[in-house]
Amino acid sequence: MLSTMQDAPLLTSRILEHGRRIHGKSQVITWTGAPEPDRRSFAEIGDRAAQLANALRDELGVDGDQRVATLMWNNAEHVEAYLAIPSMGAVLHTLNLRLPAEQLVWIANHAADGVVIVNGSLLPLLAPLLPHLPTVEHVVVSGPGDRSLLDGVDSRAQVHEYEELIAGRPTTFDWPELDERTAAAMCYTSGTTGDPKGVVFSHRSVYLHSMQVSMAESMSLTDRDTTLVVVPQFHVNAWGIPHATFMTGVNMLMPDRFLQPAPLAEMIEKERPTHAAAVPTIWHGLLAEVTANPRDLSSMRMVTIGGSSCPPALMEAYDKIGVRLCHAWGMTETSPLGTMAHPPAGLTPEEEWSYRVTQGRFPAGVEARVVGPGGDVLPWDGESAGELEVRGPWIAAAYFGGVDAEPVRPADKFSEDGWLKTGDVGVISADGYLTLTDRVKDVIKSGGEWISSIALENALMAHPEVVEAAVVAVPDQKWGERPLATVVLAEGASVDYAALRAFLGESLASWQLPERWVLVPEVPKTNIGKFDKRAIRRQYADGELEVTKL
């Protein structure tokens, strides 16, 4: 028996038109460094998105599912591209401006990008790459920047000005009725091991993920809110926030290239956002800034924090200034929303704490299991640790194989029955809360026992004189592997390694404590702000670190 319901495909064009018509007065506010930011209503963004779509089709020949890349900061023009490109049937490909040049070239060629929309301030990054991008036929430049950098570049690409390209074009577009399972956008993983892997999001997955982002158990944002979107638009579609805001009318405050702690603090004080989203390193920096130079952050009711585990000490510090950090977990392959750590109802603040420090609870749409080393599915008892596997309508089933190639499903990333192997090790409680104890590649296997690098890091960063701490496994002749602690101390701190080890001993078993210690001015970071443990292991292996062994 079939239903009697209409079968309207779930498309990004419907998100665009809904935001444009129903929430037309909501705003995209772009920080420019000028006394006043740039303000555009959703209605204006919708008009300009239609103009961009007309320009891409009529002027640049984008008439199918060609890849249109963006190399841009978080700003209004990037939101216009987010909406226009997939809605017209093309595929939005966000390029990660923090990747090494050789990876950017590999990614753009693998995706066969035909058009690149770039902020003028990023032309120094793009110009040297163009001779190595044979599929790129058009470069569209938006905003201030030195256009002369493109003069004489050995490339077939024609250069266009964004504003000139869209000027005078119709503010409506006949958005096609697409199959909701066709590609809307694509992102590549960071490629920290092997070549980056392409994840292709469908219109259906984007639509359903946007609905979940908007729910109360997730970010719980309405048209009364303004969200400060610090997480880059090139990082898993800015965690789905731009699409979700057009669903619900949430105002977006976009920082453009002004991502340093001081301008972020100024944005919050002047524009009064109620929500923000970014990785923990951003909030470490902002905390140091407002501690040294107080700012009014009282508008912020919640911060979604993900990308890597948030140290409980950081959550406690923000609690003291009235800003609540809420853990989220996800990855490129999960669109990325996988969990959010809202405690159950009816608990005291003290009782809530044990839930807040987890990665959070799985929403409807994300099925999860933990699998032991022997392949057994483990119980949800909060104690049985294994690799987390997930599946659902916004979770990848394969990787992009390249133009005209079949999708790729490597056995180390996907189970035989289709679940995504996340590479995260953790436990799930009986009521569905996930606690990650490590990455499969980062867990320390010492004398037949596992040591959690995350537990060691969180404990170290609870010390008042420790700013950052990263722990990795290093070879040990007796135990196989032992932890190496890489520590950044607060300015003027004088605590020694023995004292830090003793501090760890107050909460952790003695056999878990590091014997090897390194003091560094800054922990190496990946392009998305996570601790770069691969770099630390390489530095140790190459003898570049000054290690003290207790």
If you average pLDDT over every residue of the chain, what do you get? 94
Those residues whose C-beta lies under 8 Å from the C-beta of residue 2, and which sit 6 or more positions away, are none
- What proportions of the chain, in percent to the nearest 5, are helix, strand and coil? 30, 25, 45
The confidence score (pLDDT) of residue 526 equals: 84
445 is an active site residue: yes
- Helical ranges in 249-394 per DSSP H: 261-271, 280-292, 312-320, 349-356
Using pLDDT thresholds of 50, 70 and 90, give the confidence band for residue 455: confident
Using pLDDT thresholds of 50, 70 and 90, give the confidence band for residue 513: very high
189 is an active site residue: yes
Does residue 132 belong to any structural domain of this protein?
yes
Does residue 76 belong to any structural domain of this protein?
yes
Q: Give me the mean pLDDT over the 39-63 stretch.
A: 98
The confidence score (pLDDT) of residue 308 equals: 80
Using pLDDT thresholds of 50, 70 and 90, give the confidence band for residue 441: confident
Does residue 402 belong to any structural domain of this protein?
no
Torsional sign, CA 336, 337, 338, 341: positive
State CA 130 to chain mean position distance. Answer: 26
Residue 90 has pLDDT above 80, yes or no: yes
Dump pLDDT digits (tens) for 117-167.
999 999 999 999 999 999 999 999 999 999 999 999 999 999 999 999 999
Residue 449 belongs to domain spanning = 442-549
Does residue 357 belong to any structural domain of this protein?
no
The confidence score (pLDDT) of residue 439 equals: 82
Distances (CA, A) of 202 to 145, 206, 209, 272, 489: 34, 6, 10, 34, 45
User: How far is 89 from 177, CA to CA, in rounded Å?
Assistant: 9
Dump pLDDT digits (tens) for 263-320.
999 999 999 999 999 988 899 999 999 999 999 999 999 999 998 888 899 999 999 9
333 is an active site residue: yes
Range from 223-227, 255-259, 535-539 carrying the lowest mean pLDDT: 535-539
Supply the CATH number for residue 173's domain. 3.40.50.12780
Dump pLDDT digits (tens) for 465-499.
999 999 999 998 888 899 999 999 998 888 789 99
pLDDT cut 90: percent of the chain above it: 87
Amino acid identity, position 10: L
Of 102, 164, 177, 445, catalytic = 445
Find out whether 54 and 61 touch, Cβ atoms under 8 Å: no
Supply the CATH number for residue 449's domain. 3.30.300.30
Using pLDDT thresholds of 50, 70 and 90, give the confidence band for residue 191: low
Does residue 154 belong to any structural domain of this protein?
yes
Q: Strands, DSSP E only, in 134-255?
A: 138-142, 158-161, 183-188, 198-202, 226-229, 251-254
The confidence score (pLDDT) of residue 420 equals: 98
270 is an active site residue: no
Both structure tokens of 487 = 């520590």
Range from 149-158, 207-216, 409-418, 452-461 carrying the lowest mean pLDDT: 452-461
Of 80, 137, 333, 387, catalytic = 333
Residue reference for tokens 């997930």: 390
Residue 24 has pLDDT above 90, yes or no: yes
Of 12, 70, 94, 189, catalytic = 189
Amino acid identity, position 224: R
Among 142, 177, 201, give the residue marking a domain's end.
201
The confidence score (pLDDT) of residue 492 equals: 87
Among 157, 183, 201, give the residue marking a domain's end.
201
Residue 192 has pLDDT above 60, yes or no: no
Residue 507 has pLDDT above 60, yes or no: yes
Does residue 210 belong to any structural domain of this protein?
no
Q: Domain tally for the chain?
A: 2
The confidence score (pLDDT) of residue 317 equals: 95
Residue 527 has pLDDT above 80, yes or no: no
Find out whether 50 and 74 touch, Cβ atoms under 8 Å: no
Find out whether 171 and 191 touch, Cβ atoms under 8 Å: no
Q: Give me the mean pLDDT over the 310-332 stretch.
A: 95
Write out the DSSP string of 456-492: HHHHHHTSTTEEEEEEEEEEETTTEEEEEEEEEEPTT
Does residue 331 belong to any structural domain of this protein?
no
Q: Residue 375 CB: number of other CB atoms within 10 A?
A: 10
Dump pLDDT digits (tens) for 153-174.
999 999 999 999 999 999 999 9
Q: Strands, DSSP E only, in 300-348?
A: 302-305, 325-329, 339-340
Dump pLDDT digits (tens) for 208-244.
999 999 999 999 999 999 999 999 999 999 999 999 9
The confidence score (pLDDT) of residue 193 equals: 55
Does residue 174 belong to any structural domain of this protein?
yes
Going across the sheet that includes 183-188, the strands are: 158-161, 138-142, 113-119, 67-71, 91-94, 183-188, 198-202
User: How far is 374 from 60, CA to CA, in rounded Å?
Assistant: 53
The confidence score (pLDDT) of residue 237 equals: 95
Of 450, 479, 525, 548, catalytic = 450
Among 141, 172, 201, give the residue marking a domain's end.
201
